[in-house]
């Protein structure tokens, strides 16, 4: 991989909905090649001399490590910005932060609660803005997920992915991702915890082009039946700790255990975006079992994030 295409240069990465099927294919191909080069010890300093400003309103393990290590491996520098150490934490306008960082850095990654903050940042920044997670979407996670599925299954189109749990940011991005690559996605959530209707409607518009089927299925057994990929996430997202006990009552039947996994295809793989509440949404037997691709999935965050940065910055 001597050079990188410029087709996405200076673009924002806020939602998979914003990218074409062909562009997502390029992102995945570049991620796979960067991973290969890393394993072979081939240097790939595509971002030498460049800086990524990382704003973390939400704490993180995988997102921070993937972006920070990724920038280092690409020859650049990642600057961690804790809200307690910056003027954002004291009420500075997102607009002002965006314009100042645009003069000093080459890209901004933000991980925050309110999705509108990312949109506001992108509106005023003159450099690429990467959505590292909001309460609405988690696109960088799902790009890593798709890389993992592609590695294990050899393709994405025509596969069935069943997601068990809250209709949250990961579920939303899986709908967008599946629709873009032609993968059928079933979201199985208890009544009252389904994905956002507007997100589902937008994803279904994308699905018309790839003929993927997006469905909401309350019954987890029906959702998992015949699935190639079974995916779960914590029932209470970060910031929802005060309602975690109450949510457990609604989600008890959605635990990913051996009995439920046996309804999927025999060669189905298990995914979890982590961190996991073992014994809650997933059992140790499944998470540590032979069908689990969870640790590969976590590693692939690094390679997917590197592809995003290399192509945008």
The confidence score (pLDDT) of residue 245 equals: 77
- Catalytic residue list contains 38: no
Catalytic residue among 11, 17, 62, 138: 138
Cα separation, 301 vs 276, whole angstroms: 16
The confidence score (pLDDT) of residue 87 equals: 75
> Considering only CA atoms, which of 196, 143, 114, 160 is closest in space to residue 31?
143
Cβ atoms of 297 and 271 within 8 Å: the answer is yes
The tokens describing 304, both together, are 């997917």
Cβ atoms of 38 and 160 within 8 Å: the answer is no
Catalytic residue among 11, 62, 301, 305: 301
pTM flag (> 0.85): yes
> Considering only CA atoms, which of 159, 211, 222, 213 is closest in space to residue 189?
222
Cβ atoms of 297 and 144 within 8 Å: the answer is yes
The confidence score (pLDDT) of residue 238 equals: 65
- Among all chains, which residue has been given the structure tokens 């749990």? 165
The confidence score (pLDDT) of residue 89 equals: 66
- Catalytic residue list contains 221: no
- Catalytic residue list contains 145: no
Q: Sort strands 77-81 and 214-216 into parallel, antiparallel or unpaired.
A: unpaired
Cα separation, 195 vs 135, whole angstroms: 12
Cβ atoms of 179 and 206 within 8 Å: the answer is yes
Residue 274 burial (10 A CB sphere; 0-12, 13-18, 19+): middle
Catalytic residue among 57, 73, 141, 255: 141
Catalytic residue among 11, 233, 272, 291: 233
The tokens describing 160, both together, are 């069935």
Helix axes 197-210, 169-181, angle to 10 degrees: 20
- Catalytic residue list contains 10: no
The confidence score (pLDDT) of residue 91 equals: 80
Cα separation, 177 vs 224, whole angstroms: 19
- Among all chains, which residue has been given the structure tokens 């439920």? 260
Cα separation, 162 vs 189, whole angstroms: 11
- Catalytic residue list contains 301: yes
Catalytic residue among 273, 291, 303, 305: 273
Cα separation, 163 vs 185, whole angstroms: 7
Cβ atoms of 107 and 101 within 8 Å: the answer is no
Q: What is the SS3 assignment for 121?
A: helix
The confidence score (pLDDT) of residue 88 equals: 73
Per-residue pLDDT of the chain (313 residues; tens, 9 = 90+): 677 999 999 999 999 999 999 999 999 999 999 999 999 999 999 999 999 999 999 889 999 999 999 999 999 999 999 877 777 767 889 999 999 999 999 999 999 999 999 999 999 999 999 999 999 999 999 999 999 999 999 999 999 999 999 999 999 999 999 999 999 999 999 999 999 999 999 999 999 999 999 999 999 999 999 999 999 999 987 666 666 678 888 999 999 999 999 999 999 999 999 999 999 999 999 999 999 999 999 999 999 999 999 999 9
Sign of CA dihedral 81, 84, 85, 91: positive
- Catalytic residue list contains 9: no
Catalytic residue among 11, 111, 272, 305: 111
Domains, the chain, in order of start with CATH, read: 16-137+300-312 (3.40.50.1370), 141-298 (3.40.50.1370)
The confidence score (pLDDT) of residue 240 equals: 67
């Amino acid at each position: 991989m001597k050079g990188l295409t410029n087709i996405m240069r200076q673009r924002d990465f806020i939602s998979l909905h914003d990218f074409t099927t062909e562009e997502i294919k390029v992102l995945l191909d570049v991620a796979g090649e960067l991973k290969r080069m890393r394993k072979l010890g081939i240097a790939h300093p595509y971002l030498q001399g460049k800086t990524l400003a990382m704003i973390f309103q939400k704490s993180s393990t995988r997102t921070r490590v993937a972006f920070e290590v990724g920038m280092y491996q690409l020859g650049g520098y990642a600057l961690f910005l804790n809200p307690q150490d910056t003027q954002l934490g004291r009420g500075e306008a997102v607009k002002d932060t965006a314009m100042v960082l645009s003069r000093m850095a080459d890209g901004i990654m933000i991980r925050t609660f309110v999705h509108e903050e990312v949109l506001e940042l992108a509106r005023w920044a003159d450099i690429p803005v990467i959505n590292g997670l909001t309460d609405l979407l988690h696109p960088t996670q799902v790009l890593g997920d798709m890389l993992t599925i592609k590695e294990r299954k050899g393709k994405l189109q025509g596969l069935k992915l069943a997601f068990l749990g809250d209709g949250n940011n990961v579920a939303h991005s899986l709908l967008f991702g599946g629709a873009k690559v032609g993968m059928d996605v079933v979201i199985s959530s208890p009544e009252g915890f389904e994905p956002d209707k507007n997100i589902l409607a937008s994803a279904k518009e994308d699905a018309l082009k790839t003929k993927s089927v997006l469905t909401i299925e309350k019954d987890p057994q029906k959702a998992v039946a015949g699935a190639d990929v079974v995916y779960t996430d914590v029932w209470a997202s970060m910031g929802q700790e005060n309602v975690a006990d109450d949510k457990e009552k609604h989600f008890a039947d959605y635990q990913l255990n051996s009995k439920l996994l046996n309804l999927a295809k025999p060669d189905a793989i298990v995914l979890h975006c982590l961190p996991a509440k073992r014994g809650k949404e997933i059992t140790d037997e499944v998470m540590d079992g032979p069908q689990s691709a969870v640790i590969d999935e976590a590693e692939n965050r690094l390679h997917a994030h590197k592809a995003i940065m290399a192509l945008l910055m």
